[in-house]
Structure 1
């Protein structure tokens, strides 16, 4: 690369960085002006921080993301466009309790509804949670301590008043229901979800008199409440990560929020990423007494994200450049998954403001393996085989790579079950090609770099579109080997890989 080319590339990178920085500044400045103009004019005491607390010293800042685009509540986002499917379509607002503009201290509660996703992101101020009124296991235990525990004991069951909202002087005498059946049917529909925990949570909400609203423990900074179902599976967990991320962006949080799990699941290695993405993490049952939130956000279920809905709804979206979409919006393109993938990488300290330089003559081929591990208390510790001769395929690829003369190929053994999340992400970002049998580990391609190529080996028993869709939504090159059973011919796999390597100039 000559000096002029290097100078041009540096200039382009600087312009893109400046563009994203300016976008963030404009968005947050406009957002805070709007919030400020709608806030009650009161003395700046610790009781009237609306909607955000003044002291945010313990919250992590948002990283600068090259693919970031502003999130809005604009009604101009087209219905069922890619922006709407990936979270930028929560534009129908309903206020269940409006801020008291008369200057008297009280709570507020509102929801942002997406007609495209049939889902709501709700938020409120001066909300009290009673852990004793939520029936579930404690949560956060080591998995070895709770072997055999039933799933139904881990999912929350809410008694009336599990959550309460400070109604100030709007409530006289008896408490009242916050969300009636009509609201729930319209804004938190059950859909295909048999046990809709967020719907049940909102149904438990009561609005109480300000005279009855007292707390010994206050959480001053914004908190996102999350209910998880399949918490040990990477694909399902990423839908929850994405939902919590979108919720934080849609309501315009200035920093990464803190998290509270409203479930009783035990610990898994995936909590490492929850803690990296957000500012802190607690379980509901960590609180021994009622706790009050200055500002709380309720994240929709991961089942209600495009990542899950796309498996049955056929979301025809393609990955696009955020810069191009900023200049010319396209209803069939999205940069949201790229933005989120950058967020995950940034959370673990990987640079996202520049691409990883790969020498053209050296390529890492990451083979994602399926390994036995103890996933949850009811799991036997063995994973279902999707490729019966996986070891044979790996050994054949290793022999091929060691004898490949056109360029140097490093075959990386992706034993993810025995790697930290940071090690997994490093392997993903360093890979030119990611290959593997259909399995949750391939969900990591959300964090892959733009020019990464995906090769999925698909058993006839697991012919599902998860990773083809993620690659499409990210704009990644994708190839598949569809098997007639679950046994792959090593020569066929090598032939496909050789074709990919040739396209990479190797």
Structure 2
């Protein structure tokens, strides 16, 4: 080997050694930084966990079994100071107007209620709550409707024995969590003949922290909603229950979508599909064997206590607006809450709701005609729906003829046979429609999931002249038209005239 080759070899060996040393130092430093970051994250999680425990939240911070909240374009913060929400404003009706907090119990278990002066109802929540299903008198619930035909409604509504629910605490103050004066102030009967959530709270017995009575056959560590329902097979009333459960979850600042327990004995309905989509799990109280202890229970107000229902008898002046506009220019007489809720329903079924999502290629204007069909709704139902439009088929055929002969633009007329469609397909049909037509009936409540700029045309019999869907359209900021009938017969020419004017406004 000559001198040149020897020199080159030494240079190569030197460079190799230098490179090896550099790599060693890099990976050593990277490993140290990585461990430091993991320790920092662990410290942060531990701090968050401790903070949540101190605030009487889920003490084990166990959210592995819960669904995350989706990102919603119309979402506005729910954790703003409710004391700054104006009485009878849109936010007080549809958002977080639960400004009066009443702490009932602390130490061991805990319990508090958040009261809304506007809605005259409370969202209550507690920790270390024990449910004893055998002390709740009602049918099992969750059965196929065909298997319980003829069962009375009284059998399905819960009757709470004393101690049906228990909570850990000091019994020095009282054996019962609250008295009648508390219920009258914060969970008033209102116009409800039998206030089931009031009955649930009345049944709660305080069990001493050191007592062995508080035996739990099962613990549910994650936040859990307790819901009691009345008209559970009707879409309108079920939407009020969905909304109340959603609001309760947001007002109590739950970090994930909670579990849900029906504390009633109703049979299954197709509407249960949306309950399961919205929340992390759904069970019936009587499906549990033995006592169930809840680390964090949220008691959901009745659907009758939401603005959706109260708006039928009291004036709620609210116009739908975009969350973006309200963020920049707050307005007490505008709301984006129903749009947010509609997006929540669509997102729960995995439909995209992003404001910036790419639009689908235009394949025509979808016009959805929501039909009323015969179906078995509940054990006391004959399977026949009450006619709201006596010539519904004739009206649909006339629309089909107009669409077939109108070649200026492509129009797709959708036959909305909702009673025989899965809930996901119903929501898909609503979100894809640019025009929704239907006779007054509960099926039109689905417009709560309609996208912005959807146009509503309601055909109203003189026998059912109620403002349900006009109000929902108004609160969502949707364009609304009505054809008021003399009786229940709609002249096809009048429907076609109104429909053609709507389509002309869309460029057809």
- TM-score, with structure 2 as normaliser: 0.88
Contact 1:458 1:483 in 2 (8 A): yes
Alpha-carbon distance between aligned partners in 2 of 1:152 and 1:409, rounded to the nearest angstrom: 48
Displacement of 1:328 in angstroms is 1.7
Q: Tell me the SS of whatever aligns to 2:411.
A: strand
The 5 Å alignment of 1:276-425 reads 276-354=277-355, 357=359, 362-425=364-427
Aligned to 1:183: 182
Query: Judging changes above 3 Å, is the alpha-carbon distance between structure 1 residues 159 and 389 closer, same or farther for their aligned structure 2 residues?
Result: same
Q: Which has the larger radius of gyration?
A: 2
Alpha-carbon distance between aligned partners in 1 of 2:64 and 2:52, rounded to the nearest angstrom: 25
Aligned to 1:261: 262
Moved more, 456-465 or 68-77: 68-77
**Structure 1: runs of 5+ lacking an equivalent:** 1-31, 42-48, 101-105
Aligned to 1:70: 77
Aligned to 2:476: 474
**1:89 to 2:107 alignment:** no
Residue by residue, what CA displacement relative to the aligned partner does 1:376-426 show, whole Å, maximum 9, x if unpaired? 000000000000000000001001101112211111000000101111111
Displacement of 1:38 in angstroms is 7.8
Displacement of 1:171 in angstroms is 2.3
Displacement of 1:87 in angstroms is 3.0
Residue by residue, what CA displacement relative to the aligned partner does 1:139-164 show, whole Å, maximum 9, x if unpaired? 00000110000000000001111111
Query: Judging changes above 3 Å, is the alpha-carbon distance between structure 1 residues 163 and 362 closer, same or farther for their aligned structure 2 residues?
Result: same
Moved more, 416-425 or 68-77: 68-77
**1:505 to 2:504 alignment:** no
Aligned to 1:11: none
Residue by residue, what CA displacement relative to the aligned partner does 1:418-446 show, whole Å, maximum 9, x if unpaired? 10111111111111100000001100100
Displacement of 1:231 in angstroms is 0.6
The 5 Å alignment of 1:195-206 reads 195-206=194-205
The 5 Å alignment of 1:65-214 reads 65-72=72-79, 73-98=81-106, 100=107, 106-167=108-169, 170-172=170-172, 176-212=175-211, 213-214=214-215
Query: Judging changes above 3 Å, is the alpha-carbon distance between structure 1 residues 352 and 33 closer, same or farther for their aligned structure 2 residues?
Result: farther
Contact 1:52 1:222 in 2 (8 A): no
Q: Tell me the SS of whatever aligns to 2:289.
A: coil
**1:451 to 2:453 alignment:** yes
Aligned to 1:22: none
What value does the CA root-mean-square deviation take over the aligned residues? 1.8
Residue by residue, what CA displacement relative to the aligned partner does 1:110-164 show, whole Å, maximum 9, x if unpaired? 0100000000000000000111110000000000110000000000001111111
Aligned to 2:37: none
Q: Tell me the SS of whatever aligns to 2:309.
A: helix
Aligned to 2:66: 59
Contact 2:58 2:222 in 1 (8 A): no
Displacement of 1:51 in angstroms is 3.6
Residue by residue, what CA displacement relative to the aligned partner does 1:220-240 show, whole Å, maximum 9, x if unpaired? 110000001011110000000
Query: Judging changes above 3 Å, is the alpha-carbon distance between structure 1 residues 438 and 249 closer, same or farther for their aligned structure 2 residues?
Result: same
Contact 1:52 1:221 in 2 (8 A): no
Displacement of 1:36 in angstroms is 5.6
Q: Tell me the SS of whatever aligns to 1:481.
A: strand
Contact 1:77 1:83 in 2 (8 A): yes
**1:248 to 2:249 alignment:** yes
**Structure 2: runs of 5+ lacking an equivalent:** 1-45
Contact 1:184 1:199 in 2 (8 A): yes
Displacement of 1:216 in angstroms is 2.4
Q: Tell me the SS of whatever aligns to 1:132.
A: helix
Q: Tell me the SS of whatever aligns to 1:434.
A: strand
Displacement of 1:210 in angstroms is 1.4
Alpha-carbon distance between aligned partners in 1 of 2:273 and 2:240, rounded to the nearest angstrom: 16
How many residue pairs were aligned?
459
Alpha-carbon distance between aligned partners in 2 of 1:359 and 1:488, rounded to the nearest angstrom: 35
Alpha-carbon distance between aligned partners in 2 of 1:333 and 1:40, rounded to the nearest angstrom: 36
Moved more, 88-97 or 348-357: 348-357
Contact 2:453 2:479 in 1 (8 A): yes
Displacement of 1:54 in angstroms is 1.7
Contact 2:221 2:295 in 1 (8 A): yes
Query: Judging changes above 3 Å, is the alpha-carbon distance between structure 1 residues 34 and 181 closer, same or farther for their aligned structure 2 residues?
Result: farther
Residue by residue, what CA displacement relative to the aligned partner does 1:311-333 show, whole Å, maximum 9, x if unpaired? 01021101011111112210100
Query: Judging changes above 3 Å, is the alpha-carbon distance between structure 1 residues 363 and 138 closer, same or farther for their aligned structure 2 residues?
Result: same
Moved more, 346-355 or 445-454: 346-355
Contact 2:455 2:480 in 1 (8 A): yes
Residue by residue, what CA displacement relative to the aligned partner does 1:251-307 show, whole Å, maximum 9, x if unpaired? 000000000000000000000000000000110001121110000000000000000
Displacement of 1:358 in angstroms is 6.1
- TM-score, with structure 1 as normaliser: 0.88
Aligned to 1:19: none
Alpha-carbon distance between aligned partners in 2 of 1:332 and 1:358, rounded to the nearest angstrom: 34
Contact 2:49 2:61 in 1 (8 A): no
